[in-house]
A = this chain, B = another copy of it.
């Protein structure tokens, strides 16, 4: 992967509105593997330096998404022990390490969803917000168990429509609502389940804007509010609060008016006290166990 190709991948990552943090983190590992195999480098030390630089650039591109940081850090750690002397061998080792982490991430998503599916059980109505690949996996596991879905559109780009398409293809009975109707429909759900872009050290959840209000009404209606994600979503203890990415206000489609400023912050933070349980590949949602 040349510098130009990498620059294009980086630009696509910055602009991506279609994929959640898990998928984008795996995409970054694919870019890493491609860079390892084919980036221009005179020797092992040069390749290692280039891969470290590209990793840093990928992390910087989506600062709200902890798994990009976590998985690329894991990858850099795996590379630290590989010998520099044989460039071709280092390329293969680095690419294989990235692919192994992609597999590990997929397996973690599957297990996290399995833990949540077991807790939710048969014949339940699950409400969610935005489009999380982990929540898609949850519905995949529950689709022959009589699950029903309540899905918010998730403005501004309405990725809830794409979740509805997936659920429709699986014949899951689905109710599709505006974000503003979340308070009306939460009482019809047996549980709310969302993914996460990042889990903060105290268990607070960085996720698509609208998650916090949904958690607040779920608490008010005494409906359990679960978070389901890989443990790679966790930001390490002591890490600074994440920057909440803001996208172009033109995505709102609102009229341009003097004195009026459109805002388009993509993420909000749901405090840990509103979360009923955290499901990861290791955690089975026991609130006493914490995040």
Surface stretch bound by B, among A6-14, A50-58, A161-169, A278-286: A161-169
**Which residue of the partner chain B has the closest CB to A261?**
B175
- How distant is the Cα of A265 from the Cα of B182 in the complex, in angstroms? 11
Within 8 A of B (CB), among A202-216: 208-214, 216
Distance in angstroms from A102 CB to nearest chain B CB is 31
Proximity string of chain A (216-233) to chain B, C-beta cutoff 8 Å, 1 when within and 0 when not: 110110000000000000
Which one of A17-25, A77-85, A148-156, A193-201 is at the interface? A148-156
Say if the beta carbon of A238 comes within 8 Å of chain B.
no
Task: Say which residue of B156, B220, B252, B258 sits within 8 Å of A216 (CB atoms).
Answer: B220
A171 lies within 8 A of chain B by Cβ: yes
Q: By the criterion CB–CB under 8 Å, are A164 and B213 in contact?
A: no
Say how far A205's CB is from chain B's closest CB, in angstroms: 12
Whole-angstrom distance from the CB of A169 to the nearest CB of chain B?
9
User: Which interface class (under 10, 10 to 19, 20 to 34, 35 or more) fits A?
Assistant: 35 or more
Known: A165-B257, A216-B217. A268 touches B179 (CB 8 A): no
Contact (Cβ within 8 A) A183 B155: no
Q: For the complex formed, measure the closest distance between the CB of A284 and the CB atoms of chain B, giving whole angstroms.
A: 27
Decide yes or no whether A260 CB sits under 8 A from chain B: yes
A179 and B211 CA atoms in complex are apart in Å by 11
Q: Roughly how many angstroms separate A209 CA and B152 CA in the complex, as a whole number?
A: 13
Complex CA–CA separation, A209 to B177 (angstroms): 11
Measured in the bound complex, the distance between the Cα atoms of B180 and A156 in whole Å is 9
A interface list, Cβ under 8 A from B: 129, 152-156, 158, 161, 164-165, 167-168, 171-185, 208-214, 216-217, 219-220, 244, 252, 254-255, 257-265, 268, 271, 274
